[in-house]
Amino acid sequence: MEKHIVLLPGDGIGPEVTKAAKKVLQAVADRYQHSFTFESHDIGGVAIDQQGTPLPEDTVKAAKKADAIFLGAVGGPKWDQLPGHMRPEKGLLGIRKQLGLFANLRPVKAFPQLLHASPLKQEVVAASDLLIVRELTGGLYFGQPSERRNGGKEVVDTLAYERSEIERIVDQAFKSARVRRKQLTSVDKANVLESSRMWREVVEEKSKEYPDVLVEHMLVDAAAMKLVTNPAYFDVLVTENMFGDILSDEASVLTGSLGMLPSASLNEHGVGLYEPVHGSAPDIAGQNKANPLASILSVAMMLKHSFGMEEEAEQVEAAVHEVLDEGYHTSDIDLVGGIQVSGSGLATKVVDQ
Amino acid sequence: MEKHIVLLPGDGIGPEVTKAAKKVLQAVADRYQHSFTFESHDIGGVAIDQQGTPLPEDTVKAAKKADAIFLGAVGGPKWDQLPGHMRPEKGLLGIRKQLGLFANLRPVKAFPQLLHASPLKQEVVAASDLLIVRELTGGLYFGQPSERRNGGKEVVDTLAYERSEIERIVDQAFKSARVRRKQLTSVDKANVLESSRMWREVVEEKSKEYPDVLVEHMLVDAAAMKLVTNPAYFDVLVTENMFGDILSDEASVLTGSLGMLPSASLNEHGVGLYEPVHGSAPDIAGQNKANPLASILSVAMMLKHSFGMEEEAEQVEAAVHEVLDEGYHTSDIDLVGGIQVSGSGLATKVVDQ
Ligand SMILES: CC(C)[C@H](C(=O)O)[C@@H](O)C(=O)O
Ligand SMILES: CC(C)[C@H](C(=O)O)[C@@H](O)C(=O)O
């Protein structure tokens, strides 16, 4: 197959982990006789520095034509004092909106090798294997008005959804649940928010199309508790943008493997932006220390979700497990009796599997 | 001192734990020669059943005249299918708003005796001692419009704040920090929300009045992570209503002592509503099993925050620690080598200290 991939290395350790992702994609192309072409563009802080805006036009144009996009990371203290519209995050929010990347998929799975680094007791967290499906282009993040009023005496933000926006994310979540353990937890605040009541109705309606999936509703405060007390309880959790932001980050630290977590943000045509969950880690940038495994697992998600390459995706995931089993790791991880290597060294180990 | 206390026993185990709270208040009155008078009113499900509304007028009237209010719990499956405005929670939201109870204080402290019940590793959670200050009468909970639009094709909720509402809760948080370890973490989503940017400005301004308090800003997603990875990091955490709902529930399960956590909701005149954090637990209601300690610790907060009775409050807290040290506990708690007693039995033990 021929696929065109846009790389957005971004800031901090972004370029390093993007290099690792590209290396793995090239190895997959070689081994399975695909042809992957690449082009790189600026986003975030580096785009502000080079082109005066966090999301240059040519980046958007290229992304719109790509079969898939890989993003390293954006942001860093260097740009923290800039005004709102000139912040690196605006690049990320902008590309999500412009490409219609409404479905953010964040799997969290315990790696047995890394459980000792979890803040949770081993018996609480060991069986965890959940997927958070977060709505990514609606809600409080984009609703209007979002402004000061009355001479600065008041402020409003708006949590707005179209019913169709709720329908498509809920549908995506049911589809995800169907190929997993068939359990869907829909998280809302229906005892307070009108938008949550609509959300609940849509889930009830959609559930008729997926009679094989077991659905339940959970309030967001209860979900925030349950993620800590019993993360293994969840299979697929679906929720709106802001709740998803909070809960997916809460979930990301449960298993002690934040440096290992991938993500995908998909649009209606299956085009996706793939990105490691960890940030730009400016403190270790440029030192070849960054853990490339979250990026490599994001590549596996790309192969599966945007290219339909199930076997290739499984191969990449297996290779990651293999290097961990062999004890190789970067300095962010502490594997008893393991062998510490550089970021690029670890990527090479994965490719050599 | 003479004080008039309104009791709102509510639903499920509410009446049982309210009885325990009253018993302790009477013991304090006896021992310190105060005169506490009591009157009881309906709220929540029981009010729906008896008077056809979750918040009867005479409840509000009585509460407005009280020096302090104690609330047991509201809600239960019996009322879950009722329409929104007839749900037990509306009683709670209504009384918060009508009495202007804008400052919700939720302390979370690890009890050494109960740490084994925590989902977190002992070394992660042991030193935790934090206070969440949640804004309780603004934001998404009360903002207008909150409605369907365009024939049901769209829905909006509104996150609205007046600057003065932000100022008073931030001020309360600084005051709380000043009598604790003098560290304040203000939690917002300033990289996305205009309301959060105003929140951040107010915190910066107020901080000039409290130069002895160390302030930092943290994004809500980062806070959701940090509460799990390092809860001992926090002293006082202040945030808006919805973020506070999620984070305070997340925090409540960290130490393994959810059945022990008190809360206070204060207005500008120091009148407060005191309530255990646990819910109405309908499954064990009426069996004299409910743990009364969260309610008794809520009484301690009442003595301190509404009556200025520091010594009495400390006495009550000490008595709770004492009974735990002696090994007494209700069935929700598993104390190795402890002595299991009934809810009223445990309350008597506290009073007998
Ligand atoms: C950078 C920020 C705007 C973003 C978000 O809140 O969506 C980030 O936290 C994320 O979760 O991808
Ligand atoms: C019952 C509900 C409306 C309430 C809230 O969200 O405020 C509860 O969760 C709480 O935290 O006291």
The CATH number of the domain holding residue A164 is: 3.40.718.10
Same-domain pairing of A157 and A198? yes
Cis peptide before B145 (omega within 30 of 0): yes
Same-domain pairing of A70 and A1? yes
pLDDT at B84 over 80: no
In this prediction, residues B310-325 reach a mean pLDDT of 97
Residue nearest to atom 2 of ligand 1 (CA): A89
**Angstroms from A89 CA to nearest CA on chain B:** 7
Tell me if A249 and B159 make a contact (CB, 8 A cut-off). no
What whole-number percentage of chain A has pLDDT above 90?
Answer: 94
For residue range B228-255, list pLDDT tens digits in order: 999 999 999 999 999 999 999 999 999 9
Any idea which residue has 């069996």 for tokens? B287
Query: φ and ψ at A33, to 5 degrees?
Result: 55, 45
Of B118, B124, B148, the CB nearest to A194: B148
Same-domain pairing of A138 and A241? yes
The residue among A128 and A82 whose pLDDT is bigger is A128
Task: For residue B189, give the 3-state DSSP assignment.
Answer: coil
Same-domain pairing of A29 and A61? yes
Query: Quick one: how far is CA B165 from the chain centroid?
Result: 19
Same-domain pairing of A67 and A23? yes
**Angstroms from A296 CA to nearest CA on chain B:** 23
In sequence order, what DSSP letters do the residues of B82-115 get, joined into one string?
S-GGGSHHHHHHHHHHHTT--EEEEEEE--GGGG
Task: Based on the residue annotation, tell me whether A141 is a catalytic residue of this protein.
Answer: yes
Neighbours of A16 (CB within 10 A): 27
A197 is in an annotated binding site: no
Task: For residue A137, give the 3-state DSSP assignment.
Answer: coil
Q: In this structure, is residue B215 part of a structural domain?
A: yes
CA of B191 to the centre of ligand 1 (A): 8
User: Does any CB of chain B come closer than 8 Å to the CB of residue A167?
Assistant: no
In this prediction, residues A314-339 reach a mean pLDDT of 93
For residue range B166-207, list pLDDT tens digits in order: 999 999 999 999 999 999 999 999 999 999 999 999 999 999
pLDDT at B92 over 90: yes
For residue range B255-290, list pLDDT tens digits in order: 998 889 999 999 999 899 999 999 999 999 999 999
B86 is in an annotated binding site: yes
Same-domain pairing of B280 and B353? yes
Task: Based on the residue annotation, tell me whether B206 is a catalytic residue of this protein.
Answer: no
Question: Which atom of ligand 1 lies at the shortest distance from residue B191's CA?
Answer: 3
Band (A201; pLDDT cuts 50, 70, 90)? very high
What pLDDT sits at residue B158?
Answer: 98
Provide the mean pLDDT of chain B.
Answer: 96
Band (A303; pLDDT cuts 50, 70, 90)? very high
**Angstroms from B6 CA to nearest CA on chain A:** 26
How far is it, in rounded angstroms, from Cα B154 to Cα A133? 21
Q: In this structure, is residue A48 part of a structural domain?
A: yes
Same-domain pairing of B60 and B134? no
Neighbours of A326 (CB within 10 A): 13
The total number of structural domains in chain A stands at: 2
Structural domain range at position B52: 1-99+271-353
**Angstroms from B197 CA to nearest CA on chain A:** 9
Task: Based on the residue annotation, tell me whether B64 is a catalytic residue of this protein.
Answer: no
Give the chain B residue nearest A154 (alpha carbons): B162
Same-domain pairing of B85 and B135? no
Provide the mean pLDDT of chain A.
Answer: 96
Boundary-marking domain end, from A254, A281, A302 = A254
Contact A140, A242 (CB under 8 A): yes
What whole-number percentage of chain A has pLDDT above 70?
Answer: 100
Contact B12, B73 (CB under 8 A): yes
CA distances (Å), origin A151, targets A30, A37, A147, B163: 62, 53, 11, 11
CA distances (Å), origin B40, targets B59, B66, B71, B334: 9, 11, 10, 33
For residue range A219-262, list pLDDT tens digits in order: 999 999 999 999 999 999 999 999 999 999 999 999 998 889 99
* Cα torsion angle, B94, B98, B102, B108, sign: negative
What pLDDT sits at residue A85?
Answer: 80
How far is it, in rounded angstroms, from Cα A271 to Cα A266? 6
Instruction: Give residues (CB < 6 A) around ligand 2.
Output: A 191-192, 221; B 89, 92-93, 245
Q: In this structure, is residue A131 part of a structural domain?
A: yes
What pLDDT sits at residue A60?
Answer: 98
Question: Which atom of ligand 1 lies at the shortest distance from residue A96's CA?
Answer: 7
What pLDDT sits at residue B82?
Answer: 85
Q: In this structure, is residue B202 part of a structural domain?
A: yes
Task: Based on the residue annotation, tell me whether A352 is a catalytic residue of this protein.
Answer: no
In this prediction, residues B291-318 reach a mean pLDDT of 98
Reading phi first (left if > 0) and then psi (alpha if -120 to 50, else beta), residue B251 is in alpha
Task: Based on the residue annotation, tell me whether B221 is a catalytic residue of this protein.
Answer: yes
Tell me if B225 and A89 make a contact (CB, 8 A cut-off). no
User: Does any CB of chain A come closer than 8 Å to the CB of residue B220?
Assistant: yes
User: Does any CB of chain A come closer than 8 Å to the CB of residue B175?
Assistant: no
In this prediction, residues A190-218 reach a mean pLDDT of 97
Q: Which of residues 249-268 of B touch A (CB under 8 A)?
A: 249-250, 252-254
Same-domain pairing of B40 and B154? no
Query: φ and ψ at A134, to 5 degrees?
Result: -110, 130
Q: Read off the tokens for A345.
A: 């060294």
Same-domain pairing of A215 and A123? yes
Query: φ and ψ at A162, to 5 degrees?
Result: -85, 145
User: Does any CB of chain A come closer than 8 Å to the CB of residue B218?
Assistant: no
Ligand nearest to the CA of B192: 1
The residues, any chain, with a CB within 8 Å of residue A123's CB and separated by 6 or more, are none
Query: Quick one: how far is CA B15 from the chain centroid?
Result: 17
Q: In this structure, is residue B263 part of a structural domain?
A: no
Boundary-marking domain end, from A220, A254, A288 = A254
How far is it, in rounded angstroms, from Cα B61 to Cα A33? 78
What pLDDT sits at residue A175?
Answer: 98
Boundary-marking domain end, from B234, B258, B282 = B258
pLDDT at A62 over 80: yes
Any idea which residue has 């934040």 for tokens? A258
What is the SS3 string spanning A297-334? HHHHHHHHHCCCCHHHHHHHHHHHHHHHHCCEECCCCC
> To the nearest 5 percent, what fractions of chain A are helix, strand and coil?
45, 25, 30
What pLDDT sits at residue B257?
Answer: 86
Ligand nearest to the CA of A224: 2
Amino acid at B109: K
In this prediction, residues B140-168 reach a mean pLDDT of 98
Same-domain pairing of B127 and B88? no
Same-domain pairing of A230 and A271? no
Q: In this structure, is residue A54 part of a structural domain?
A: yes
What pLDDT sits at residue B91?
Answer: 95
Band (A116; pLDDT cuts 50, 70, 90)? very high
Tell me if A154 and B163 make a contact (CB, 8 A cut-off). yes
Q: Read off the tokens for A294.
A: 């979250």
In this prediction, residues A65-85 reach a mean pLDDT of 92
Q: In this structure, is residue A322 part of a structural domain?
A: yes
Q: In this structure, is residue B264 part of a structural domain?
A: no
